[in-house]
Amino acid sequence: MTHRPLGAFQVSPIGLGCMNLSHAYGAPPSAEQARALLQQALDEGYTLFDTAALYGFGANELLVGPSLKPFRQRITLCSKGGMAGMTGADGQTTRVIDGRPEALRRNCEDSLRRLGTDVIDLYYLHRWDKRVPIEESVGEMSRLVAEGKVRALGLSEVSATTLRRAHAVHPIAALQSEYSLWTRNPEIAVLQTCRELGVAFVAFSPVARGFLGSLTDVSKLDAKDIRRSMPRFAPVHYAANLGLLAPVQALAAELGCTVAQVALAWLLHQGKHIIPIPGTTHPQHLSDNLAASRIALSEAHLACLAAAINQHTVQGTRYNSATQAEIDTEEFGAAT
C-alpha cells in the first residue's frame, strides 16, 4: 500500500472519517461496535483518523481518543475547531461557528482533553467564521503549533483565495472539502491551488454520502439524518440521480469491485495529493474502502466516469441556502 504525504506525515491513501460513528446519519452504532470498527481500521492499515469537536458535540472525540490512544504513535490524528456545540440556558445544545482566537484556543484545549492526548497532529479550522479575518483565526492556530499543542494546521470548506491568505500566515498542511464524482466544486480552483502550495487535499464524503454506495431509498432515512435537508437527496432529485449510476455499475462489474470502490479509485487518480476519508459503520465497507487504493483505472475508465456523473448531470445542490451561506467554497455558476 503506497502512502500519501500530508504535511510532514505519510498516511494511508484512504483515511477514516469518524463522524458517523457518533453523528449526522441517523442512529450511530453502539460504543462497543464503534470501538471494534476502529480496531479493525488499525489492523487493516488505516493510519489517518479524522474527528471534530462538533461530531456528537464532543462524543466522537471521547470515543476515538481513548480507542486509539494505545496506538497513538502509529497514527495521524486529526480534529477540528471553530464549529462546536454550545449549551444554552434551556439545556439545549446547538451548533455555533466561532473563529475568534479565544474560541479556537478553548476548542483545541477541550479537544485535547477529550482525545486524551498531548498534541493533535492536524488541527483544522472547521469553518471559516466570516466575521473574523482568516488571518486572525490562523494566527491563533499558529500559536497552538508554537506551544506544541498542535503539529500542523488545516482548513475546511474554503476557497482558493482564502487558502492563499491563510497559507501566508502559517503553512497549511491540508484543506478538507467535499469531493466526489457528484461534487466537483474543488476542480474550479482549490485543487490546483493545493498542488501549487504543496497542500494535501482531504476529500470528505467521497462516496457522495451513500449515493455511490448502497443508498437507493431516501424515504427510509432517519428523521434526523442530515441528508434530509440536502436538496439533491430530495426524492424528485434523487430518483433522477439514481439514473446516472448505470455506467458506474457496469464498470464496477467489469472490474469485479463495488461502485463505492470505483468512486474512491477515481478520486485517487485525480492527483497524488488527494486523500479520501470515507466514513462507515460497516466492517465490510471499511475493508472495501481501503482496498480501493489497489484498483487501477484506465484513461477510458476515467473518461467514462467523469462523463456519467458531474456538475452538469447531477440534479439538486449539495447544501440548502442556509448551509451554503456558511461555507466559502467556489460554486459553479458563481463568480470565483
| Residue count of the chain | 336
Q: Which pLDDT score is estimated for 265? A: 98
**Catalytic site residue from 25, 46, 55, 124:** 55
The whole-number pLDDT of residue 334 equals 53
| pLDDT score, position 66 | 97
Helix (H, G, I), strand (E, B) or coil at 217: coil
To the nearest 10 degrees (0 to 180), the angle between helices 299-308 and 246-255 is 150
The low-confidence residues of the chain, meaning pLDDT below 70, are: 334-336
Question: Which pLDDT value is given to residue 189?
Answer: 98
Judge whether 309 and 266 are in contact, CB under 8 Å.
Answer: no
Tell me, what's the pLDDT at 190? 98
Give the tens place of pLDDT for each residue, 287-330: 999 999 999 999 999 999 999 999 999 999 999 999 999 999 99
Q: How many angstroms separate the CA atoms of 259 and 251, rounded? A: 8
- A 10 A CB-CB count for 32 gives 8
pTM of the model: 0.96
Residue 49 three-state SS:
strand
Q: Dihedral of CA 23/28/31/35: which sign?
A: negative
Instruction: Write down the CATH number for the domain with range 4-208+271-294.
Output: 3.20.20.100
Four-CA torsion 190, 192, 193, 199, nearest 10 degrees: 100
Instruction: List the grid coordinates of 205.
Output: 464524503
Domain residue spans of the chain: 4-208+271-294
For the chain, how many helices (H) and strands (E)? Answer: 12, 12
d(CA 123, CA 135): 16
pLDDT for residue 187: 98
55 catalytic? Reply is: yes
CA distances 96 to 93, 100, 316, Å, are: 9, 12, 26
